[in-house]
Structure 1
Amino acid sequence: MHMNQKKKREGSYLFQVTEEAELLPFLLENMKKNSRNSIKSMLTRGQVSVNGMSITKHNHKLLTGQTVEILPNKAALNESMLTGLTILFEDESIIVIDKEEGLLSMAAKDKNEKTAFSEVSSYVKKQDSRQRVFIVHRLDRDTSGVLLFAKSEKVKMQLQDHWDEVVKERVYTALVEGNVKKDKGTIKSWLKETRTYKVYSNPTDNGGQLAITHYRKIRSNRQYSLLEVNLETGRKNQIRVHMEEIGHPVVGDKKYGSTVNPIKRLGLHASALTIVHPITNEIMKFESEIPASFISKSL
């Protein structure tokens, strides 16, 4: 433990260094309530200063007796004004958010409706009026969890054009109806959307898109199962269609066979996204906590 003092000064936090350490491990040790990603964001945005000097390097060497200060900056203040989402990570190229259920990824019919895209756009424009954001992938309105945005068209194209290489892992948590008997399994089929926007699954190639879903049972009771779902392909409504196909529809998903909704929402959450950073090539994992209602229903 490197800290012997912590106090607020006009919204900032002060830490006293009591033994030599590198800056990132020091912050992780002393700010346990913050995720690794949020602490990295603070460094990137210049919110961290050592003896009054702004430091962004993760491995900056701290010396005994120095004071580390976490400053509230415009970005931090802007963040607190966001509706329906929190920022997990931000740098010059990307923004990763944790989206609440009920918030659209981007505008549909009602142009005035708040969306993840409109909220993130206004957030970045408060820091720089010329800054834009670009949607890279989407989550259904009623699915919560990790969502990635690009900060330039070039980065957006880079991510989308090489999506299969960029994305190392896409993990969802699904609360489904019934007791799933198999501990793990893979569902493979071809998906096609109808004119009424419903996606249908076919076991053989029907000219639709190949979809592959891997699942692993975390736990189950007689009524519900909690599954970890790993996407090999990312098709529209893929998990929802595939869960209906194996006879265990996602809780609250009327469109795809669910008849119950004890959690008052769709039982689907994007819990982790692992990517190769488009600029630094660093492998980064972004995570969102599984909603408590999913856990309590599957106990």
Structure 2
Amino acid sequence: MSEVDVIYEDNHLLVVNKPTKLATMGAAGQPTLHSLGCDYIRRTCNKPGKVYLGIVSRLDSMTSGVIVLARTSKAASRLTPQFANHSGDGARKTYLAAVSGRVEQQQGELVDDVYKDETAHRMRVAHHARADAKEARLEFHLMGYHNDSTLLRVTPLTGRKHQIRLQWSEAGFPILGDQKYGSERVWPNGIALHSWRLSIIHPTTKDRMAFEAPIPEAWKNRLGSSLFT
């Protein structure tokens, strides 16, 4: 991976389609979305020196899909609060998730109290009161089935780390390929979680803008194209 897959760009935003197995930032000695994005701006904008590119939200390395980066510090300061607010003027995210088993409910909500297990480097659901637990909420809609798997459209209502992965595992339907959270089934590349659509308020024009990352071909090959039409 030496190039970023650009969905949209202007003087304030760089919106890209992140592949799986690429960290957003912070992977020592390895390419990251941030480093590749900076290289892209240096090359396309003829900026040989230091390039600013602000991280305003993250995707797990094993998750693919749309993510926005800020090209100026002012844009970053205006975008970051949107990802802490999932209503009104906040950012709106929609994921696709393929889970093991058949979810029978057509639509609904998952609500859990979650906390970070620092020793195990993962999140956990709190089954008893804990001072460090925070509420995680998401909405889902059923899209269809493929054998003993379910395709879901998922909208997080809070921004907890790994919350989609953890909450579906806790519900008994782990995301395909996600061994950290209980999946015993493989997925062609990464895990079956894709950041499909993202809507934000533009930091300078104040217009709401929506972006979409194409559904990976591996998903269509594995689950059948008819589920996505």
TM interval, short-chain normalised: 0.7 to 0.9
SS in structure 1 at match of 2:35: helix
Work out the percentage of aligned pairs sharing the same amino acid.
28
Equivalent in the alignment of 1:270: 195
Structure 1 residue 175 corresponds to structure 2 residue 98: yes
Provide the residue aligned with 1:144 in structure 2.
Answer: 64
1:85–1:97 CA contact under 8 A, matched in 2: yes
Q: Which of 190, 214, 222 in structure 1 is aligned with 2:139?
A: 214
TM-score by length of 2: 0.88
Q: Distance in 2 between matches of 1:114 and 1:252?
A: 23
**1:223 is matched with which residue?**
148
Q: Any idea what SS the aligned residue of 1:167 has?
A: coil
User: Aligned residues, how many?
Assistant: 216
Gaps of 5+ in 1: 1-81
Superposition TM-score, scaled by structure 1 size: 0.68
The residue type equivalent to 1:124 in the other structure is I
Cα distance in 1 between the residues matched to 2:3 and 2:125: 32
1:101 to 20, 31, 36: 20
CA–CA distance in structure 2, aligned partners of residues 204 and 293 of structure 1:
40
**Structure 2 residue corresponding to 1:120, chosen from 34, 37, 53:** 37
Report deviation, 1:251.
0.2
C-alpha contact (below 8 Å) 1:277/1:284 kept by paired residues: yes
Q: 2-side partners of 1:84 and 1:232: how far apart?
A: 32
The superposition leaves residues 92-138 of structure 1 with CA deviations (integer Å, 9 ceiling, x where unpaired) of 11111101111110023x2x211100000122123223541111110
RMSD: 1.8
1:189 to 112, 116, 119: 112
CA distance in 2, matches of 1:199, 1:245: 11
Matched, 1:202 2:126: yes
- Runs of 4+ in structure 1 off by over 4 angstroms are none
> Aligned runs of 1:1-299 on 2, under 5 Å?
83=2, 85-108=4-27, 110=28, 112-126=29-43, 127=45, 128=47, 129-163=49-83, 164=85, 165-195=88-118, 196-202=120-126, 206-207=130-131, 208-299=133-224
